[in-house]
A and B are shown apart, each in its own frame.
Chain A
């Protein structure tokens, strides 16, 4: 006899999606300079094009999306120029290309068009993420970025910075972050010399020089002030200073120092004032990277009948290198499954040590097994620790405490 059928579905968590636009060509950024004398653009995008990528991060808290990047899932992609589909604009024909491959570069646009001075081009990406797990389409639209050109005639002001316009922070490459972790955990002695050696272009301490030019010469007038703002949207800027913004170490008229551990993704604009009048501005972005990594067990030995405890250490590879102290960057929650108990949480960290008797492992062929694994994810940007009243927590010497 055939019974009635009961269809059981996997119960997936909904996707959480974050999108933004990233300039992948720091040498050909959003802003160009036009030299009227020679009728040239710097850089000339017909020679060194600009590439902008929709940065899509789709994730689900049940772990059913293996990698947080989701560009491969994009469909119905459109790039809009001032709100109009770029494919319908005659003056853009042949001056752009859009990546339609099935890779993580899907959706990137390469632009070979120079923007005339005093022309403002707002570039927006729209698309759909196809969530095959739930059979749902999720519409996404990025905040716009602005392509513009500064007319650099003799008496015009301009700002120049010594760092890229897109500052990417990869914690896996940060030797200063690793040094701090080792000192905090008593693995090495604190040493100014070692710390200084750990500071390089990948460190979370990022300082860059800012120079105001008037025409081709550095402006040396004493009435010049530099201010830094968060870009919160079109025509919505929020000033940041070392006093009120945790990620800002210092701002002077000639330099900006940031602690980019505290930044997930933020757009900034530095504005120069002579007197009270704005004379030049420079936009830049800081973004935390989430590279793909591989996690595995170190201890793969069998369990002997007389064993009481189980010890294991996580090993993580990223970009072909073994990651030193992976618990510094990756949240790892060790778990076990046995025939009797599944999903038992043991501890968080790079190592685990637990009593086998707590796992439910049995003594017969049917139940004498144990699965060990970990729920792993790269830690997000650091946050400042506060109490319930919002007061910052500090150590015994007054340093702010941060965590992630």
Chain B
């Protein structure tokens, strides 16, 4: 499973419920998993296209761990 670092406001605007999610240390970006992005009815296309629509990018799990540890995510 891949994970998406996405713009928090854009994710909320397409109806993704952000309860319990992890955010970067300034609160701008949110960490989503592949399932919640692909199950969203507003977004379309493959995972990369959907991530781009959220001003974000999809990463494999091990890369995500490197990013959030380096950037001190909540």
Binding site for B on A (CB under 8 A): 24-28, 40, 42-44, 47-51, 108, 110, 162-164, 201
Contacts and interface: CB of A to CB of B under 8 A. Distances in A.
17 contacts: A24-B19, A25-B19, A26-B36, A27-B33, A27-B35, A42-B1, A42-B33, A43-B1, A43-B34, A44-B1, A47-B61, A47-B64, A48-B20, A48-B21, A50-B20, A164-B39, A201-B41
B39 A48 contact: no
Interface size class of B (residues with CB under 8 A): 20 to 34
Main secondary structure of the interface of A (DSSP, over half): loop
B39 A26 contact: yes
A48 B64 CA distance: 11
Given A43-B33, A48-B31, A201-B41, A24 B17 contact: yes
Contact of B31 (A40, A47, A50): A47
A48 to B, nearest CB: 4
A216 B4 CA distance: 22
Given A47-B61, A48-B32, A25 B20 contact: yes
With most chain B CB atoms within 10 A of its CB, the pick from A27, A163, A164 is A27
Contact of B33 (A47, A162, A163): A47
Nearest to B15: A201
A48 B38 CA distance: 15
Contacts of A28: 20, 33, 36
Main secondary structure of the interface of B (DSSP, over half): mixed
A42 B34 CA distance: 9
Interface of B: 1, 3, 16-17, 19-22, 31-36, 39, 41, 61, 64-65, 68
Given A40-B61, A47-B3, A24 B20 contact: yes
A108 B20 CA distance: 10
B4 to A, nearest CB: 10
B34 to A, nearest CB: 8
B57 to A, nearest CB: 15
B64 A25 contact: no
Contacts of A42: 1, 33, 35
A27 B31 contact: no
A26 B65 CA distance: 22
A47 B22 contact: yes
Given A47-B22, A201-B41, A25 B31 contact: no
Contacts of A51: 19-20
With most chain A CB atoms within 10 A of its CB, the pick from B17, B19, B20, B34 is B20
A35 B38 CA distance: 20
Contact of A49 (B1, B20, B39): B20
Contacts of B36: 26-28, 48
A164 B36 CA distance: 9
Contacts of A26: 17, 36, 39
Nearest to A49: B20
Given A48-B20, A110-B20, 15 more contacts: A25-B17, A25-B20, A26-B17, A27-B35, A42-B35, A44-B33, A47-B3, A47-B22, A47-B64, A48-B3, A48-B21, A48-B33, A108-B19, A162-B39, A201-B41
Contacts of B65: 47
